[in-house]
Amino acid sequence: MRTYAGRTMREVLLERLEPTAHSEFLVYVMGPYTMFSLDYVLQEEVDIDDTDAELGAFGDPDTDLIDDLREIVEWMRTDIGVNAFLAVDADIPTETVPTETDQERMNVISQSKAYAGASNAVVFVLPKAGVRDGVDIEIGAVLSGFDLGHAEGTPRKPPQRFHVFREHSVSSATLDAVPFEYEVALTEYGTRSELHDQLARFLAGVIRSERRGDFPIDDGFERNDNSE
């Protein structure tokens, strides 16, 4: 679904997102919004406060995981200048939102595909502390939706525009399969600063490829060739 309310999704995003130094360079950031909770798996007689669990670089129990993801997005927007955003930032209601609205609704998979199609780069951030069940499904749906699997013919969007970043020790059969199933890179990070460095290198590479004309003019969105 490349349109929303009769307009291209790219037009909608550029209108709704706050401008940045390079507003035309959209970066869709996907990741778990919910932090893994120890009381979900521990037996009732186990005291959580007495349990020593290492939840990684984004495992602060006093911070919502979506706030950590938003911090990453804001870092990309301010330090790099790209127009990074989370799904919730576009304020497009999904079919599961129980509020009254006259806006057109989208299911979460169609929404993610539309955001990815409208963006210059798509980033998946998978921290150790996050509940990833739904995100793993979305990753597979997005990558398959753009025909990025090996030997699937011509991708609908260059696979170089996608990158998966997962924290060390993240256990996921879906993520393990990404490099084998799809033509998309997967990188592991250990600290927030490592993640920032890897994100900066990835985005710089996409920007260079755009400026060299390595990507097709029509690769899923209408691109402004004069954008910096």
At 41-66, the pLDDT tens digits run: 334 444 434 434 454 555 555 456 78
List beta partners, residue 123. Answer: 29, 163
- 185-227 confidence digits (pLDDT tens): 999 999 999 999 999 999 999 999 999 999 876 665 544 444 4
Query: What is the rounded CA–CA span in Å between residue 98 and residue 87?
Result: 17
Provide the CATH topology of domain 3-212.
Rossmann fold (3.40.50)
Query: What is the rounded CA–CA span in Å between residue 172 and residue 219?
Result: 30
Apex 101 CA angle, 99 and 106, nearest 5: 90
Query: What is the rounded CA–CA span in Å between residue 68 and residue 195?
Result: 12
pLDDT band at 3 (very low <50, low <70, confident <90, very high): confident
Closest CA to 135 of 62, 20, 41, 34: 34
Judged against a pLDDT cut of 70, whether residue 89 lies above it is answered with: yes
**Domain boundaries defined on the chain:** 3-212
Judged against a pLDDT cut of 50, whether residue 149 lies above it is answered with: yes
pLDDT for res 135: 76
Q: What mean pLDDT, rounded, does the chain reach?
A: 81
β-pairing verdict for 22-30 and 82-85: parallel
Query: What is the rounded CA–CA span in Å between residue 35 and residue 31?
Result: 11
Query: What is the rounded CA–CA span in Å between residue 73 and residue 78?
Result: 9
DSSP-assigned letters across all residues of the chain: --EETTEEHHHHHHHHSPP-TEEEEEEEEE--SSB--GGGTS-TTS-GGG------TT--TTS-HHHHHHHHHHHIIIII-EEEE-GGGG---BTT--S--SSPPB-HHHHHHHHHHH-SEEEEEE-TTB--HHHHHHHHHHHHHTT-BTTSSS-SS-GGGEEEEEETT---HHHHHHHHHBS-EEEEESSHHHHHHHHHHHHHHHHHHHHHT-S-SBSSSB--TT--
Contacts of 110 (CB under 8 A, 6+ apart): 1
Query: What is the rounded CA–CA span in Å between residue 155 and residue 149?
Result: 8
